[in-house]
Structure 1
Amino acid sequence: MYQEERLQLILNYLHEHKRINVEEICNLCNTSRDTARRDLVKLEERGSILRTRGGALLPTIIKEIKSYKDRISNDSKEKKAIGKLAASLIKNGDRIIMDTSTTVQACSEFLQVNDCTVITNSINQAYILSNKPEVNIHLLGGKLNQEQRFLYGPSVISMLSNYYVDKVFIGICGLTEEGVMVAFEEEGFIMRKMIEQADQVIVLVDSSKFGKKGFFKVTDLSQIDIIVTDKLPDKSLIDILDSNQINIMLAK
């Protein structure tokens, strides 16, 4: 059997069973363990699988990263509901950090306080908040990611180190037992620093992101205090969130 035929058999098996081990590959393709391992290496190089100890899994990484414009045009009722509930957590006098996600932008739109200070690296967040005279805005300066509309780089992280805030609001593209994840490495490093500077970490995430991985891990679940979402995750993930003492708030 040619290698391409074996690789297709392995992928077909994975799509049906979600995982495979070396012994199953040997039986499936009537091949040796060494050949099975080489086939796994080839599939990993192509990005088709995630190798594990003794086998492989189908990747669950989110592959298509839409532009900010596309993401905001697909604003959902769930996202708005999450943003509205998150905004209710912001009190008069709070000093907060808001990241660049469109869900956190929804939070900005519903923000109603008499006095609040917001630090952000999102030019869209700054624009929305500029229409709220009761909000003091600190826009972090750096290099502009034009497609995703956020500022990044060493200068942003350096500026963040000067601020200590009550709360940080972050949006993510994936949450698993391994932690919270985003699509862009440069954004992830900034979000790590944002989390370090806050007394309370609040994650805004719609339920479709539960169990999904992103490209870059921002932090462990142990660093999260509150998750605002539209639906509960499955029981296994709820148990893990509970063990990390994370409060889950459901938006109606």
Structure 2
Amino acid sequence: MINHKRHKRLLKLLNEHQHASVQELTEWLSASAATVRRDIGWLAAKNQLTRTRGGAAKLQQKKRQFTLSSETFQNNIQNRAAEKRAIARHASSMCNDGETIIINGGTTTYMMVEFLVEKQLKILTNSFLMAERLLVSSDNEIILPGGKVYREQNVILSPFDNDITQHHYAAKMFMGVYGLSLLGLMEADPLLIQAEKRLISQTDELIVLVDSSKFARRAGLILCGLNRVSCVITDTGASDGAVQALEHEGVKVVTVAPEPLEQDSGSADFESSSEFPLAANDRF
């Protein structure tokens, strides 16, 4: 058997059996033990299999890595769901039929879908999951930017400045962020910063949706200052100090009481926490 065909056959056998001894491979390949050992050594050097004591094993693939460093949508959707649902409901009540709005991808903003079904809006969003849900359940007009789909984070992002967002203006933009402080809105990933800055530049009124845990979170990147923020919608777990600090900076703050998801009503998983260490004059 020609070398490359034998190598291909050897790898196929390991894929089927996960591992094999030299003796087994000599029988399956009808080759000598010396030939099999040379093949194992050559393929191991090419990082196509793992050499073991007395044989070889299928190369274990490394866990797939994603470009974005932010937490996954699936991991976050159940976290503080009661708070997020109440925030999303209030945010949706601020939308008037006929308006053009922008909604960025995120778990809190995604929960607006339920309350936007009966609206008549033009919605630009970089959340493909939100777009899909609204397309099948509502009469809203949906606009998506071009770019790469990041499945784990449920967003569409373009690395280019001249994407479709530059041609759309919105009266309001609703967005969630990684964290919030007196320095401004914080994100953990440069690619998100780039995309969201473009969206922010296309709207007059920036409305930020954050559950109270976001006041204690820090990230290495600042998306924009508080002077760009019109309103923050959060839950009643936010400390008085955090609320007063935002209002001192000229930001309107709306606090809403948590409400459980209908299918999870009363679940202990959605209990809110009001333990925030900020005093009235503390920075957050």
Partner of 1:204: 209
Unaligned runs of 5+ residues in structure 2 are: 1-68, 258-284
CA contact (8 A) 1:109 1:128 kept: no
Structure with bigger gyration radius: 2
- C-alpha distance in 2, partners of 1:223/1:157? 22
Query: How far apart are 1:222 and its partner, in Å?
Result: 0.5
Is 1:187 aligned to 2:192, yes or no?
yes
Greater than 4 Å deviation, 4+ residue runs: none
Paired position in structure 2 for 1:103: 108
Identity across matched positions, percent? 29
Q: Which amino acid aligns with 2:137?
A: K
Aligned Cα root-mean-square deviation (Å): 2.0
Contact 1:82 1:228 in 2 (8 A): yes
Distance in 2 of aligned mates of 1:120 and 1:155 = 17
- Unpaired runs of 5+ residues, structure 1, are 1-63
Alpha-carbon separation, structure 2, partners of 1:80 and 1:65: 21
One-letter identity of the residue aligned with 1:197 = Q
Deviation for aligned residue 1:205: 0.1
Report matched runs for 1:221-232 at 5 Å.
221-231=226-236
State whether residues 121 and 156 of structure 1, in contact with CA within 8 Å, keep that contact through their aligned partners in structure 2.
no
Contact 2:108 2:210 in 1 (8 A): yes
TM-score by length of 1: 0.69
1:152-202 Cα distance to aligned partner (Å, 9 max, x none): 123476221111101000001210111111222211221112111111100
Offset of residue 99 of structure 1: 0.4
Which whole-Å CA distance do the structure 2 matches of 1:133 and 1:67 have between them? Answer: 26
1:127 corresponds to which of 117, 120, 132 = 132
Distance 1:156 1:125, change over 3 A: farther
- Equivalences for residues 87-98 of structure 1 within 5 A: 87-98=92-103
Distance 1:199 1:132, change over 3 A: farther
Tell me the TM-score normalised to structure 2 length: 0.62
Q: Which amino acid aligns with 2:98?
A: G
Partner of 1:11: none
The secondary structure found in structure 2 opposite 1:248 is strand
Report if aligned partners of 2:159, 2:191 keep a CA contact under 8 Å in 1: no
Q: Which residue of 2 aligns with 1:142?
A: 147
How many residues are paired up?
189
Distance in 1 separating the partners of 2:216 and 2:162: 29
